[in-house]
Amino acid sequence: MALNIAGIDHIVLRTTQLGEMLAFYCGVLGCIVERALPPETGLVQLRAGDALIDLVMVDSELGREGGGPPTATENNMDHFCLLLDAISEDEISQHLSEHNIAFEDFTERYGSEGFGQSIYIQDPEGNTVELRSKKK
């Protein structure tokens, strides 16, 4: 028997800046809050297409289990990639510029749909987010 990966189920990001993270993932990238547990538990789950992004407050019950807060040199993740519905590089660049999100040039990288152009951006906690468009 073999396991077949269907896609990303969820990722977990630890944060000290819940408001800023919600503004970034919901306001800039278009996620929606799917579920929020009580503040003392410290978990907000965002819908990102077929996957979830879990935001965990570092000073909450769940967050304290993972240790101290992320820092510029102590991120607990290298990056993750969000596959966008088909959209042009110009439209992505314009959207990010409108939200004052820094980005560099698109680069060809390999992902779930083979080689394609993508860019890296950073969220408010310094986590690197790769954005790539579905092939048309």
pLDDT category at 126 given cuts 50, 70, 90 is confident
Provide the pLDDT for residue 75.
67
* 32, 26 contact by CB (below 8 A): yes
28 domain residue, yes or no: yes
114 domain residue, yes or no: yes
3 domain residue, yes or no: no
Q: How far apart are CA 53 and CA 5, in angstroms?
A: 18
Provide the pLDDT for residue 90.
94
pTM, rounded to two decimals: 0.77
Q: How many domains does the chain have?
A: 1
Provide the pLDDT for residue 46.
94
120 domain residue, yes or no: yes
5 domain residue, yes or no: no
Mean pLDDT of 96-125: 91
118 domain residue, yes or no: yes
Q: The domain containing residue 48 runs over which residues?
A: 10-133
Express each pLDDT in 81-110 by its tens digit: 998 888 899 999 999 999 999 999 999 998
Q: Does the pLDDT at position 78 exceed 70? A: no
Residue 110: which residues within 8 A CB-CB, separation 6 or more?
Answer: none
Residues facing 122 on adjacent strands? 128
Task: Mark 19-39 as b/e (b = at least 16 C-beta within 10 Å).
Answer: eebbebbbebbebeeeeeeee
Express each pLDDT in 5-45 by its tens digit: 678 889 989 899 999 999 999 999 999 999 998 888 889 99
Helix and strand element counts for the chain (H, E): 3, 8
Mean pLDDT of 47-57: 91
* 53, 44 contact by CB (below 8 A): no
Q: Comparing 127 with 2, which gets the higher pLDDT?
A: 127
34: left (phi over 0), alpha (psi -120 to 50) or beta: alpha
Provide the pLDDT for residue 132.
87
73 domain residue, yes or no: yes
Provide the pLDDT for residue 30.
96
What CATH number does the domain containing 97 carry?
3.10.180.10
2 domain residue, yes or no: no
**Tokens 């990722």, residue located:** 11
